[in-house]
């Protein structure tokens, strides 16, 4: 029997081998799904994916990290939303990260991750992502996969045409979707037209430490600035923004902002404005916005309120800004790897408009303008047009490139990805999406050097694609192989929150830099306990500070007495481990906060305000070791006003 089964297995193996030799484009009756899709997304246990995908969580406020081609979820990085699992925004150290000019904001709508670049290629140091609702830009440091900086954007609302980086990460750019009065003031909404402004913010990124600072804000006419992308190669130094609502409507926008046949792509020569600003141009205006920085050595964030921002009136910098007429409320604004073509994805049309950077320069040179808008010259549509992609699809949203002369565009309404040739504008292939795709991502697709192997489509509607989970179903992404002439659907995978947008990168660029632990010897936390000799409990009036350490498999101290009802007890807990993947957690019964999850070498703090007399336990929440269950302790709480002295111990 054994012999037969091995024979059968052998035959199956042969069959698999033979089917592997067949042309890649072979499809089965199951739509676009290829016959050997499973083996092409399967990553053997213990082996690593080829790409990282950083997928925005949309209304979850976070950013998730996936592997491609497997679609496996590795981590949800807390960015704009409190995360009780990781104590993000709950512990004393990270609360300042969510501070804004409106106070503590525990949530945002996270949209467009973009990876830092050097010479137009992804360098894998940082991922930037924008908070749309309370305008902010966050920076995730890929050596630790943690959010280490968040800067609020003043004079902005609906921070949507963000957070895209220039070719050498000179700037990360944040443009406003909702124009507002600048400065904010009490005025009738109906007086929007001509009075509201759209701020495009250029945030400089320090080449050494990545520190962010708003270099200048360009105060543009009150349109809606939807998406943006940097020029690259020859067009490096320019930035392109799509606009809609050039009608400047302020009510029933779905109708009133859809009346103009053409809106604009704004071409901004940021190098020119940078020069203007460096020579003292622009105007400093009072502002109030938060700049929050997490320090890896103190393991603590600080929030600083900044009181001033430099604004630039575009009409005062001749030659800095032009409008390129682009049909039908364009959404995505995408630049091909060479930097020559600027694609306007006119979301209410069937066609894609492609502008030529060379033609744009020529038109500017010959000053052939079609009037102006608030003093900003409008170029003639025909003069800048490189071509139109007649797709037959409906509702183009976003285009990325494979680096081999092809472009891939999502069509929301006709629910498909369309592959077309950059230059001939001919459609090569189209594949359906399930359902109503929004954005798509090719690793490196927003750079000079895309890794043109896969495209991830992020869908807006899921319906019946997975097992049902009541009225609210998961959001979904789909992976296509684009290495051949035809796209091939390989995989559906669920996502965290709404996958608005994503950035991908070859894993090799990132994974070697990923830290395993925080060095205890570099821990400069104000309340760190880096050795057992430093363990102590100190009282300062009603405030009690517990300097506690944790290591397999105990807390030090694990018995504390002398705490009284009405005290405010700060537990500063340091993980003394220096081994990879040995975090410890800690939680206290009745604490009105989350647990702490503390990485090796790190210190975190939670506050407990005991309200009841008794002896109350705390314990480790992360299964750390064989003696994890024993990793626990007690705090004795005496009545307010009792005279029990502070006492702490371990093993006595």
Partner 1 sequence: MKKSRIIMLLGALLPLMLFLFPLWNITLEAPQYPTPLGMDIYINDFADANPHDIKNINLMNHYVGMKYIPDAIPEFKIFPIGIIITTLIGLFVAWKGNYKWFLYWFIMMVLVSTAGLIDFYLWEHDYGHNLDPRAIMKFTNDDGTPMGFQPPLFGTKDILNFRAHSYPQLGAYCLGLGIVFGLVAFFMGKKENEMQV
- For residue 44, the minimal CB distance to partner 1 (Å) is 15
d(CA 504, CA 64): 12
- For residue 514, the minimal CB distance to partner 1 (Å) is 14
- For residue 209, the minimal CB distance to partner 1 (Å) is 24
CB-nearer residue toward partner 1: 457 or 507: 507
- For residue 284, the minimal CB distance to partner 1 (Å) is 48
Strand partners, 146: 141
CB-nearer residue toward partner 1: 268 or 520: 520
Residue 273: which H helix or E strand, with range? helix 270-278
Closest listed residue to residue 537, CA positions, set 201, 614, 529:
529
- For residue 581, the minimal CB distance to partner 1 (Å) is 9
- For residue 47, the minimal CB distance to partner 1 (Å) is 13
d(CA 251, CA 191): 12
Closest listed residue to residue 615, CA positions, set 629, 631, 630, 632:
632
CB-nearer residue toward partner 1: 192 or 619: 619
d(CA 110, CA 105): 13
- For residue 578, the minimal CB distance to partner 1 (Å) is 4
CB-nearer residue toward partner 1: 627 or 640: 627
Euclidean distance between the first and final Cα of the chain, in Å?
66
Here's the x/- map for partner 1, 471-510, by CB under 8 A: it reads as ----------------------------------------
Q: What is the Cβ-side half-sphere exposure of residue 548, based on CA atoms within 13 angstroms?
A: 35
- For residue 511, the minimal CB distance to partner 1 (Å) is 14
Residues contacting partner 1: total by CB under 8 A: 9
Q: How far is CA 472 from CA 81, 469, 492, in A?
A: 20, 6, 18
CB-nearer residue toward partner 1: 255 or 627: 627
CB-nearer residue toward partner 1: 140 or 551: 551
The tokens for 561 are 């007495």
The tokens for 539 are 């009282």
CB-nearer residue toward partner 1: 543 or 579: 579
CB-nearer residue toward partner 1: 49 or 492: 49
CB-nearer residue toward partner 1: 146 or 577: 577
d(CA 150, CA 130): 9
Pick from 306, 359, 552, 647: which binds partner 1 (CB under 8 A)? 552
User: Does 517 engage in binding with partner 1 (CB under 8 A)?
Assistant: yes
Any residues with CB less than 8 A from the CB of 229 and at least 6 apart, and which?
Answer: 164, 239, 240, 333, 334, 335, 342, 446
Backbone CA torsion sign across 408, 412, 416, 421:
negative
CB-nearer residue toward partner 1: 474 or 578: 578
Q: List binders of partner 1 among 169-228 (CB under 8 A).
A: none
- Other Cβ atoms within 10 Å of 291 Cβ, number: 18
CB-nearer residue toward partner 1: 490 or 576: 576
374, burial (CB in 10 Å: exposed 0-12, middle 13-18, buried 19+): middle
- For residue 579, the minimal CB distance to partner 1 (Å) is 5
CB-nearer residue toward partner 1: 226 or 296: 296
- Coil, strand or helix at 511: helix
- For residue 119, the minimal CB distance to partner 1 (Å) is 33
Residue 8: which H helix or E strand, with range? helix 2-21
d(CA 282, CA 279): 9
Q: Please give the sequence-ordered ranges of beta strands (E in DSSP) within 16-111, or none if there are none.
A: 51-56, 63-68, 72-77, 99-100, 103-104
378, burial (CB in 10 Å: exposed 0-12, middle 13-18, buried 19+): middle
d(CA 419, CA 591): 55
- For residue 651, the minimal CB distance to partner 1 (Å) is 10
- For residue 550, the minimal CB distance to partner 1 (Å) is 12
CB-nearer residue toward partner 1: 359 or 554: 554
- Coil, strand or helix at 275: helix
Here's the x/- map for partner 1, 607-626, by CB under 8 A: it reads as -------------------x
d(CA 499, CA 510): 22
- For residue 552, the minimal CB distance to partner 1 (Å) is 6
User: Does 627 engage in binding with partner 1 (CB under 8 A)?
Assistant: yes
Any residues with CB less than 8 A from the CB of 65 and at least 6 apart, and which?
Answer: 52, 53, 54, 55, 73, 74, 75, 76, 77, 145
CB-nearer residue toward partner 1: 463 or 516: 516
User: Which residues in 235-264 are b (16+ Cβ under 10 Å) and which e?
Assistant: bbbbbbbbbbbbbbbbeeeeeebbeeebbb
- For residue 531, the minimal CB distance to partner 1 (Å) is 12
Q: List binders of partner 1 among 562-591 (CB under 8 A).
A: 577-580
Q: Phi/psi class of residue 423: alpha, beta or left (left: φ > 0; alpha: ψ in -120 to 50)?
A: left
- For residue 530, the minimal CB distance to partner 1 (Å) is 13
CB-nearer residue toward partner 1: 578 or 593: 578
Which residues make up the interface to partner 1 (CB under 8 A)?
517, 551-552, 577-580, 626-627
């Amino acid at each position: 029997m054994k012999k037969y089964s091995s024979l059968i297995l052998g035959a199956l193996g042969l069959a698999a081998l033979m089917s592997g030799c067949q042309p890649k484009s072979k499809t089965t009756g199951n739509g676009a799904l290829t016959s050997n899709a499973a083996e092409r997304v399967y990553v053997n246990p213990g082996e690593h994916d080829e790409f990282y995908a950083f997928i925005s969580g949309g209304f979850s406020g976070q950013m998730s990290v996936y592997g491609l081609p497997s679609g496996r979820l590795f981590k949800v990085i807390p960015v704009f939303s409190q995360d009780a699992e990781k104590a993000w925004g709950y512990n004393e150290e990270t609360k300042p990260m969510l501070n804004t000019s409106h106070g503590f904001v525990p949530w945002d709508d996270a949209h467009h991750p973009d990876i830092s670049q050097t010479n137009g290629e992804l360098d894998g140091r940082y991922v930037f992502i924008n908070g749309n609702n309370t305008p902010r830009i966050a920076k995730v440091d890929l050596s630790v996969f943690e959010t280490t900086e968040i800067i609020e954007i003043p004079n902005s609302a609906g921070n949507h045409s963000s957070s895209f980086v220039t070719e050498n990460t000179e700037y990360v750019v944040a443009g406003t979707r909702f124009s507002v009065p600048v400065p904010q003031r009490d005025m009738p909404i109906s007086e929007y037209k001509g009075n509201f402004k759209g701020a495009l913010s250029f945030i400089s990124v320090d080449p050494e430490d990545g520190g962010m600072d708003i270099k200048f804000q360009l105060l543009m006419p009150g349109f809606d600035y939807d998406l943006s992308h940097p020029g690259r190669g020859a067009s490096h130094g320019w930035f392109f923004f799509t606009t809609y609502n050039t009608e400047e409507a302020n009510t029933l926008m779905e109708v009133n902002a859809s009346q103009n046949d053409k809106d604009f792509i704004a071409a901004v020569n940021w190098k020119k404005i940078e020069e203007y600003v460096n020579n003292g141009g622009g105007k400093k205006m009072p502002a109030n916005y938060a700049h929050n920085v997490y320090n890896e050595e103190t393991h603590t964030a600080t929030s600083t309120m900044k009181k001033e921002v430099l604004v630039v009136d575009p009409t005062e910098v001749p030659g800095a800004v032009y409008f390129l007429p682009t049909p039908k409320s364009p959404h995505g604004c995408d630049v091909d790897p060479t930097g020559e073509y600027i694609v306007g994805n006119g979301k209410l049309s069937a066609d894609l408009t492609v502008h030529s950077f060379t033609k744009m320069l020529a038109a500017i040179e010959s000053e052939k303008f079609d009037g102006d808008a608030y003093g900003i010259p409008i170029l003639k549509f025909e003069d800048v047009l490189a071509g139109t992609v007649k797709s037959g699809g409906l509702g183009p949203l976003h285009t990325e490139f494979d680096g081999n002369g092809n472009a891939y565009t999502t069509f929301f309404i006709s629910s498909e990805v369309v592959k077309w040739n950059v230059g001939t504008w001919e459609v090569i292939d189209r594949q359906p999406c399930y359902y109503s795709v929004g954005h798509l991502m090719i690793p490196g697709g927003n750079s000079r050097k895309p890794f043109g192997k896969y495209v991830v489509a992020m869908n807006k509607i899921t319906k019946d694609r997975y097992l049902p989970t009541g009225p609210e179903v998961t959001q979904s992404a789909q992976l296509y192989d684009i290495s051949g002439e035809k796209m091939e659907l390989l995989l559906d995978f669920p996502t965290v929150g709404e996958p608005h947008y994503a950035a991908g990168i070859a894993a090799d660029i990132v994974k070697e830099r990923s830290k395993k632990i925080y060095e205890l010897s570099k821990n400069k936390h104000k309340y760190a306990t880096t050795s057992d000799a430093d363990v102590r409990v100190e009282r300062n009036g009603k405030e009690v500070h517990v300097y506690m350490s944790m290591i397999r498999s105990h807390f030090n101290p694990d018995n504390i007495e002398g705490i009284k009802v009405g005290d405010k007890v700060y537990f500063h807990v340091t993980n003394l481990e220096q081994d990879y993947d040995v975090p410890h957690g800690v939680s206290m019964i009745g604490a009105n906060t989350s647990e702490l999850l503390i990485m090796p070498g790190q210190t975190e703090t939670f506050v407990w305000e005991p309200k009841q007399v008794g002896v109350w336990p705390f314990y480790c929440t992360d299964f750390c070791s064989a003696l994890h269950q024993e990793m626990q302790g007690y705090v004795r709480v005496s009545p307010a006003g009792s005279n029990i002295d502070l006492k702490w111990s371990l093993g006595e």
